[in-house]
Amino acid sequence: MVDLHEIVAALETGRFCLFYQPKYSITNAVIEGSEALLRLIRPDGTIVTPNAFLGVAAQAGLLPAITRHLVPLLINDMAVLHNTRYSPVSFNTTAGDFADDTLLNLLLSELDRSGLAPSALEVEITESEAIASDACVRINIERVRSAGFGLAMDDFGTGYSSVDTLSQWPFSTIKIDQGLVQRMLDSEKCAHIVRTAIRLAHDLDIDVVAEGVETEAQYQFLLQAGCTKMQGYLISRPLPLAELLSHSEFTGCSVALAVGLIHIALMDHVEWRRELASFAVRTAMLPAEAAARRVHNYPRVIAEQCMAGRWFLQEGAVFSRLPDFSIAATANRDAFAVATEIIANVRAGADMDEINALLARLQINSLTMMGAMMNLENHAFMQIYRPYCVAQPEAGATEHA
């Protein structure tokens, strides 16, 4: 362990430094960004990780001093990483670092001095104490976002990094705690929690990063659950800056495909259809001339704004040569066209029979869309699992040189 004397000495002699761990985009199959991680280098060259000293430093009230000490190092490194695949860089803070505006102002002035854009930096916040309700913290954290920095909730699922904090602060990313990731294949409960966290992020339209991914099996799970980014020893350990830059292209994962996003899009569609049907039935029961028929709280009806619609235009475009892709995209647009018709008819005073006929048409489009998406999912599974069959001979098979 590290004692207080050594921590103070490290601050004075500049023996704290930052290592960088790459983040991997599961959907784009490339490294996208990195996380800066604190390390203490002892005079004999041994590297000490934060769990050996953060407890002592926190008790002595030294965390804000350490965070501030790191900012100039961070910004210098960020200038080196600028325009590489390791940018944007995430920087770890605690909610306590934002009890006043010292850190925020330091980040802003150092960044300004460097000429880097705020979007090159993501501030990660761990909530180790329940200070989410502190007004100063809230104001400073809102300023982090309005300044243009990314804002990530670290260790989602543990401690005070809770769903309630997520509802109150303007996070742009959640990072799923590595403990959950490491238990998810052995515990059905953890698996549900991880899958739900991923869906929650998609529903809130924010990024989701799984931390501590160590095995190909964990990667497979995350890929299929619709997780978009990950970090962990499977990709790379945290590395000193120079080693990071000479780090060769990562080739560990079998295939990266946007298959998990098909599932997310299907869930989104089912929910959208339910909302629309519920709205249509409830409203069609009102008198034809009721003013409530014309209030503007309709479910969204723009095909390109739903998750499937966005998937067709973005990650799913790799499937565009398959017939099921156009079947699904057309049926999705048709479903939205019927939805628009339903809303117009409800406004115009349509009765239950007319609405039921339209809902039946909507259902045909929905089922066509979902069936074609499921075919694309099966196709993706074949692409995912084929490399394993080719690469791994059956048990007992002998190989001859």
* Chain residues in the site for ligand G (CB under 6 A): 21, 37, 49-50, 92, 154-155, 178, 211-214, 232-233, 238
β-strand 229-230 against 173-176: which pairing, if any? unpaired
Please name which of 334, 353, 352, 355 lies closest in space to residue 343, comparing C-alpha atoms: 355
* 3-class DSSP state of 82: coil
Closest contact distance (angstroms) between CB of 175 and ligand G is 7
C-beta closer to ligand G: residue 97 or 155:
155
Contact of residue 214 among ligand G, Mn ion, none (CB under 5-8 Å per partner type):
ligand G
> How many beta carbons lie within 10 A of that of residue 240, not counting itself?
14
Distance CA(176)–CA(194), nearest Å, equals 7
* 102-114 and 63-81 helices, crossing angle to 10°: 20
C-beta closer to ligand G: residue 233 or 388:
233
Closest contact distance (angstroms) between CB of 290 and Mn ion is 53
Closest contact distance (angstroms) between CB of 139 and ligand G is 25
Closest contact distance (angstroms) between CB of 270 and Mn ion is 34
Q: Structure tokens of 186?
A: 């052995």
C-beta closer to Mn ion: residue 93 or 365:
93
Report the C-alpha dihedral over residues 289, 295, 296, 297, rounded to 10 degrees.
-110
Closest contact distance (angstroms) between CB of 126 and ligand G is 6
Report the C-alpha dihedral over residues 226, 232, 234, 239, rounded to 10 degrees.
140
Distance CA(107)–CA(118), nearest Å, equals 9
Q: From residue 243, how far is each of 19, 79, 213, 247 by CA, in Å?
A: 9, 16, 20, 6
C-beta closer to ligand G: residue 22 or 118:
22
C-beta closer to ligand G: residue 21 or 140:
21
C-beta closer to ligand G: residue 33 or 212:
212
Cβ-proximal residue to ligand G, closest one? 232
Q: From residue 115, how far is each of 74, 145, 148 by CA, in Å?
A: 14, 18, 14
Q: Structure tokens of 235?
A: 């990709």
Closest contact distance (angstroms) between CB of 390 and Mn ion is 37
**Interacting residues toward Mn ion by CB under 5 A:** 92, 124, 154
Closest contact distance (angstroms) between CB of 340 and ligand G is 45
- Sign of the dihedral through C-alpha 325, 326, 327, 328: positive
Q: From residue 82, how far is each of 20, 150, 156, 213 by CA, in Å?
A: 14, 16, 28, 26
For residue 91, the cross-strand partners are: 36, 123
Distance CA(287)–CA(271), nearest Å, equals 27
In angstroms and rounded to an integer, the radius of gyration of the C-alpha atoms of the chain is 25
Contact of residue 21 among ligand G, Mn ion, none (CB under 5-8 Å per partner type):
ligand G
C-beta closer to ligand G: residue 127 or 154:
154
Contact of residue 212 among Mn ion, ligand G, none (CB under 5-8 Å per partner type):
ligand G
Closest contact distance (angstroms) between CB of 214 and ligand G is 5
Task: Give per-residue burial for 270-289: e unless 16+ CB within 10 Å, then b.
Answer: eebbeebbebbeebbeeeee
Closest contact distance (angstroms) between CB of 65 and ligand G is 19
C-beta closer to Mn ion: residue 91 or 272:
91
Closest contact distance (angstroms) between CB of 149 and ligand G is 17
C-beta closer to ligand G: residue 212 or 309:
212
C-beta closer to ligand G: residue 32 or 155:
155
